[in-house]
Structure 1
Amino acid sequence: MRTFLQRAADRLHAIEDHLTVRTQIAAAVAAMSILLVGTLAAGAALISYRHTAALVESSLAGIASATSGRLDRFMATRQQEMKLFAELEPTQRLWQGDPNELRSALEALQHSFEFTWIGFADVNGNVVAGTGGLLQGKSVTARPWFKQGLEKVVIGDVHEAIMLASLLTQRANNEPYRFVDIAVPVRDKSGKVLGVLGGHLDWAWATNLIKDVEANDGNTDTRLTILSKGGMVLVGPQRETIRYGGDELAGILNARNGTFRETTDGRQLLTAFHVGDGYRDYQGLNWIVTASQPASVALAAAISSAQTILAIGAVIALIALSLAVLVSRRIAAPIIAITREADRIGRAHGPTMLARQSGSAEVVQLSRALRSLLRRIGMAEERTKEAELRATENAMQLQEDMLKLRHLADTDFMTGLMNRRSFLTVADDAVAYCRRYKRNMATLMIDIDHFKKINDTHGHAAGDDAIKSIADIISQSIRTTDKAARFGGEEFVVLLREIDQETAILLAERIRTSIAAATVRHGGTVIPVTVSVGLALFDESDRDVQDVIERADQGLYVAKKTGRNRVFMMPATDERAARAA
C-alpha cells in the first residue's frame, strides 16, 4: 500500500511539472470553490434538517405535555370534588344518619362527577352506603384505599377491582374493568374520623382522552401511550406489558420530559415523553405520557428541505467551476512575476544573500520573509527548548492523572470502598500469603436486611443514604490491615487478616450491633437499619478466595433464614455443621 501511494505521488508530481501556473491555479480555485460550496450546502442542509427535526420534537413534546396536563387536571378535579363533598356542612348529618338517604346523596354525586362507584365505609371498614347498592354491607378493611384513606386523601394507581367488577355489567368487548381509587377521610365537626369516602373512576376515561388527542393530530400518525411509573403500558399498544425498564426507565423519570428515538416492530420512531407532576393539591402518580411518530413521517419535511439545499449547492458548484478558469488568469499574472524575480535574485546573490526587492506587494513580502528567516532560526531553537520543558511537565501531569484514574478504577463510586475487581486482587494475594506462611484470615459477607422495603417505602435516595452510612460504620470498625469492599447493591465483603475465630466473631458482632444502633437519616426521616453477617475462616482445603467468600455467603444465607440481624459462622466441614456466633 505504501509503495502504491508513493508511485501515485510521483505520478502527480510529474503531471504538475508539465502544467502551467495558470492551469494549476484554475484547478486549485475550482477545487476550493466546489469544496467550499459543497461544505456550505451540506452544512445548511444539516442545519435545516436539525431545525425541522427540532420543531417536530417540540411538537411531539407539546402533545405529550398537554396530554399529561389534562390527565393531572382531571384527577385533581375529581380529588377536589370528593374532598369538598366530604367536608360540606350539609352532608355532616348523613354520615351517621339514614343509609338510604346517604346512598341517594352519593348517587347524585356519582351522576354529577363521573364516578363508576362511590361508597362510604365506617371506621370498621363496613360499607354503610354505596351507589347502586353495590358492596353495601361488605367489608373493605383489606382494601388499600380504605386503610390509607383513614389518615389522609389518597389516590391509588390503576388496578382491577375484582369484587366491584363482578357486580357491574360486563362490557361488550369483554375487557376487564380497571379503576383509579380516590379516598377521603370523613370527620365530624370535632375532627374525629367517622369513616372513609371512597370512589372508583373507570380508567376508560383515559383511553377516550388518548383517542381524542390522536384524532386531532393533523394526520401526522401520532400515537400516544400512558405508562405507569413502573414502565407498564396502561393505555396504548401492548397494554399491560413493560415498555421501559432499568436505566432507560430511570432516565425518563429523572429527566421528567424529553425526546429520543427508538425502534419498535422494525420501525424507527421519534418519541417525546412527559412525566406528570400533579396539579395543585393532587400530587400525581408519575404517569408517563409518550407521543410517537414514525421517523419517516416526522422527518419527511426535514429530509426534503435538506435535499433541496444540496441540489442548489450542486448548481452553484458548477457555476464556480466555470468562474475558476477566468479567475486563474488574474491570479497567475502576479505569481509569474514573483517567480521571475526569485530566479533573478538567486542568480545575482547566491543562495544565502537576499537583496531587498520591490515592484509588487507580493514580492516585497517575499523579500522580507526570506531576510527574516535566519533571525527566526535562532528563535526557533529557543522555542524548541521551551517545548522540551513543556513536554517534561506534561509527562509528569500525565503520570499524576494515571494515578488518579487507577484510584477511581479500584474504588466504588458511592461508598469510597474497594470495588469487586480490586478487592479480589487483594484477597487472592492474602490467600497466597496465608497458605505460604500458615497464617489465619477470615471473610465477612454483610447484607442489609429488608433493603427492598427501604427503597419501596422511603425511595432509592434513602436506600443510597443507608448504603453510605453502613459503609462508613464498616470502615470505622475494621483495622487498617483489613480490607472492605462493596460487592454490589446492598452487599459488602470484609477481609480480616491475621485473625482467629473468636476475634473474628467479636468483630463481626461489633459491626452488626454498631449498625443496628446507628441512626440513618434521610431528610427528616429516621430509617431503622440492620444487617445479617456471614463469617468464614480460611481453611487449607480452600482452593482460592472464592471458596472462602462462597462459604461466608452460605453463612449469610443461614443468618437471613434464621431471623436476620445476626452473625452466622459457616465452618469448613463437609457436613456444613453450623453454629451461631
Structure 2
Amino acid sequence: MRALLKRAADRLHAIEDRLTVRTQIAAAVAALSIVLVGTLAAGAALVSYRHTAALIESNLAGIASTTSARLDRFMATRQQEMKLFAELQPMQRLWQGNPAELRSALEALQHSFDFTWIGFADLDGNVVASTGGLLQGKSVAARPWFKQGLERIAVGDVHEAMLLASLLTQRANNEPYRFVDIAVPVRDASGKLLGVLGSHLDWNWASNLIKDVEANDGDTDTQLSILSKGGVVLVGPQRETTRYAGESLSGILNARDGTFRETADGRQLLTAFHVGRGYRDYQGLNWIVTASQPASVALAAAISSAQMIMAIGAATALIALSLAVLLARRIAGPIIAITQEADRIGRAHGPTMLARQSGSAEVVQLSRALRSLLRRIGLAEERTKEAELRATENAMQLQEDLLKLRQLADTDFMTGLMNRRSFLAVADDAVAFCRRYKRNMATLMIDIDHFKKINDTHGHAAGDDAIKRVAEIVNQSIRTTDKAARFGGEEFVVLLREIDQETAILLADRIRASIESATVRHGDTVIPLTVSVGLALFDEGDRDVQDVIERADQGLYVAKKTGRNRTFLMPAEDERAARAA
C-alpha cells in the first residue's frame, strides 16, 4: 500500500513539473472555489435541514406539552372538586348523619362531575355511604387511597380495582376498568378527622383525550401515548408494556421535556416527550406524554429544502470554475517574478537582499516580509536559544503539576483522606507484609449513625460538615503509619499496622468517644453526632484485604443492629464458618 501511494505521488509530481504556473494557479483557484461553494452549499443545506427539523420538533413538543397540561388540569379540577365538596358547610351534618342522605349527596356529586364511584369511609375504614351503594358496608382500611387520605389529599396512579370493577357493568369491548384514585380527609367544624372521602376516576377519559388530539393533528400521522413514571404505557400502542427503562427513562424524567429519535416496529420515529408538572394544588404523578411521527413524514420538507440548496451550490461551483481560469492569468505574472527572484537569492553567495517586487498588494507585502525575514535571521537564532531554555523550565513545571494531579487522584476531595482506590492499594501491600513477616494488623469500619436524619433535618450541607468533622477526628486519632480513607457517603475505613486486639479495641473506642463528645456546628445549629464501629483483625486464613474489610463491615452491621454508638469486634472464626457453610 505504501509503495502504491509513493508511485501515485511521484506521478503527480511529474505532472506538476510539466504544468505552467498559470495552469496550476487556475487549477488551484478552481478547486478552492468548488470546495468553498460546496462547503457553503452543504452548510446552508445543513442549517436549513436543522432549522426545519427544529420547527417540526418544536411542533411535536408543543403537542406533547399541551396534552400533558390538559391531563394535569383535568386532574387538578377533579381534585379541587373533591376538596370543595368535603369542605361544604351543608355537608357537615351528613358525615355522621343518615347514610341514605349522605349517599344521595354523593350521587348528586357524581352526576354533576366525571366520577365512576364516590364513597365516604369512617376512621375504621368502613364505607358508610357510596354512589350506587357499591362497596357500602365493606372495609377499605387496607386500600392505599384510604391510608393516605387519613393524612392528606392524595392522588393514586392508574390501577385496576378488581372488587369495584366486578360490581360495575361489563364494557362492550370487554376492556378492564382502570381508575385513578382521589382521597380527601373529612373534618368537622372543629377540625376533628371524621373519615376519608374517596373517588375513582375512570381512566377511559385519558384515552378519549388522546384520540381527540390525534384526530386534529393535521394529517401528520402523529401518535400520542401516556406512560407512567415507571415507563409503562398507560394509553397508546402496546399498552401495559414497558416502553422505556433504565438510563433512557432516567434521562426523560430528569430532562422533563425534549425530543429524540427512536426505532419502533422497524420505523424511524421522531419523538417528543413532556413530563407532567402538576397544576396549582395538584402535584402531578409524573405522567410522560409522548408525541411521535415517522421520520420519513416529519423530515420530508427538511430533506427537500436541503436538496434544493445543494443543486444551487453545484451550479454556482461551475460558474466559479470558469472565473478561476480568467483570474489565473492576472495572478500568475507577479508570482512568477517573485519565484525567479527567490531562486536568485538561493544561488547567490554571501549576504544578499531580495529585490522589491510589485504587481499587487499581496506581492508587495510578501516582498517586504521576505526582506524583513533576511534581516531578522540573526535575531531568530538568539530567540531560539531562549525558547529552548523556557522549554526546559516548562518541563520542570509539568513534572510538578503531574505530582499534584497524582495526589488529587489518590485523595477524597471533601475530607482530604485517601479514597477507595488508593486505600486498597496500600492495604494489599500491608496484608502481604503481615503474611510474610507474621505481623498483626486491624481494620476499622466506621459509619455515622442516623446520617440520613441529619441530611433530612438540617440539609446536605450540614451532612457534609458532619463528614468533615468525623474525618478530622479519625485522622487526628491514628498514628502516622496508619491509613484512613473515606469509602463513600458517611462510611470510613482505617488500617492499623503493628497492633494487637486489645490496643485496637481501645483505639476504636477512643475514636468513637471523641466523635460523640465533639461539637459539630452548622450555622447556629449544634448537631449531635455518634458513630458505630466494626473491628476485624488480620487472620492467616484471610485470602486478601477484602476478607478483613468484609469482616469489619459485618462487625459494623452488628454494632448498628445492637444499639449504635458502639464498637463490635468480628472474630475471624465466625467468617470462616459462614464461608464454609
Q: Distance in 1 between the 2:65 and 2:50 partners?
A: 22
The answer to whether the aligner puts 1:280 opposite 2:280 as a matched pair is yes
Classify 1:477/1:346 alpha carbon distance in 2 versus 1 (closer, same or farther; 3 Å). closer
Paired residue secondary structure (1:352): coil
8 Å CA contact 2:184, 2:198 repeated in 1: yes
Give the equivalent residue in structure 2 for 1:476: 473
Structure 1: 5+ residue stretches without partners: none
Classify 1:389/1:200 alpha carbon distance in 2 versus 1 (closer, same or farther; 3 Å). farther
Query: In the TM superposition, what are the counterparts of 1:219-368 in structure 2 within 5 Å?
Result: 219-339=219-339, 352-354=351-353, 356-357=355-356, 360-361=359-360, 364-368=364-368
Give the equivalent residue in structure 2 for 1:12: 12
CA shift at 1:408, angstroms? 4.5
- Could you tell which deviates more after superposition, 486-495 or 168-177? 486-495
Q: What one-letter code is carried by the residue in structure 1 that aligns with 2:24?
A: Q
8 Å CA contact 1:161, 1:178 repeated in 2: yes
8 Å CA contact 2:473, 2:514 repeated in 1: no
Q: Distance in 1 between the 2:151 and 2:201 partners?
A: 21
Classify 1:84/1:262 alpha carbon distance in 2 versus 1 (closer, same or farther; 3 Å). same
CA shift at 1:314, angstroms? 1.9
- Could you tell which deviates more after superposition, 295-304 or 21-30? 295-304
Q: Distance in 2 between the 1:521 and 1:190 partners?
A: 42
CA shift at 1:284, angstroms? 1.6
Query: In the TM superposition, what are the counterparts of 1:377-416 in structure 2 within 5 Å?
Result: 377-392=377-392, 394-411=394-411
8 Å CA contact 1:110, 1:116 repeated in 2: yes
Structure 2: 5+ residue stretches without partners: none
Q: Distance in 2 between the 1:433 and 1:383 partners?
A: 55
Q: Deviations over 1:24-59 (max 9, x none)?
A: 111111111111111111111111122122112212
Q: Distance in 2 between the 1:145 and 1:564 partners?
A: 36
Paired residue secondary structure (2:543): coil
Give the equivalent residue in structure 2 for 1:167: 167
Query: In the TM superposition, what are the counterparts of 1:50-199 in structure 2 within 5 Å?
Result: 50-199=50-199
8 Å CA contact 2:118, 2:198 repeated in 1: yes
Paired residue secondary structure (2:380): helix
RMSD across aligned positions (CA): 4.0
Q: Distance in 1 between the 2:89 and 2:526 partners?
A: 39
8 Å CA contact 1:53, 1:302 repeated in 2: yes
Give the equivalent residue in structure 1 for 2:372: 372
CA shift at 1:117, angstroms? 1.0
CA shift at 1:87, angstroms? 1.3
TM-score (norm 1): 0.85
Q: Deviations over 1:394-451 (max 9, x none)?
A: 4345434434543454355677654433221111012123234433222344678999
CA shift at 1:136, angstroms? 1.3
Q: Distance in 1 between the 2:329 and 2:169 partners?
A: 92
8 Å CA contact 1:466, 1:520 repeated in 2: no
Q: Distance in 1 between the 2:101 and 2:542 partners?
A: 78
CA shift at 1:233, angstroms? 3.0
Classify 1:2/1:193 alpha carbon distance in 2 versus 1 (closer, same or farther; 3 Å). same
Q: Deviations over 1:4-32 (max 9, x none)?
A: 54444333332222111221111111111
Q: What one-letter code is carried by the residue in structure 2 that aligns with 1:360?
A: G
8 Å CA contact 2:414, 2:468 repeated in 1: no
- Could you tell which deviates more after superposition, 318-327 or 357-366? 357-366
Paired residue secondary structure (1:166): helix
8 Å CA contact 2:484, 2:495 repeated in 1: yes
8 Å CA contact 2:338, 2:357 repeated in 1: no
The answer to whether the aligner puts 1:207 opposite 2:204 as a matched pair is no
Classify 1:10/1:263 alpha carbon distance in 2 versus 1 (closer, same or farther; 3 Å). same
8 Å CA contact 1:414, 1:468 repeated in 2: no
CA shift at 1:106, angstroms? 0.6
- Could you tell which deviates more after superposition, 169-178 or 408-417? 408-417
Q: Deviations over 1:107-144 (max 9, x none)?
A: 11112211111111222322111111112122222223
Q: Distance in 2 between the 1:185 and 1:81 partners?
A: 13
Q: Percent identity?
A: 82
Q: Distance in 1 between the 2:453 and 2:236 partners?
A: 32
- Could you tell which deviates more after superposition, 419-428 or 22-31? 419-428
TM-score (norm 2): 0.85
8 Å CA contact 1:356, 1:368 repeated in 2: no
Q: Deviations over 1:267-287 (max 9, x none)?
A: 443332222211111122222
Give the equivalent residue in structure 1 for 2:548: 548
CA shift at 1:226, angstroms? 2.3
Classify 1:268/1:409 alpha carbon distance in 2 versus 1 (closer, same or farther; 3 Å). farther
Paired residue secondary structure (2:239): coil
Q: What one-letter code is carried by the residue in structure 2 that aligns with 1:433?
A: F
Q: Distance in 1 between the 2:573 and 2:181 partners?
A: 56
Paired residue secondary structure (1:548): helix
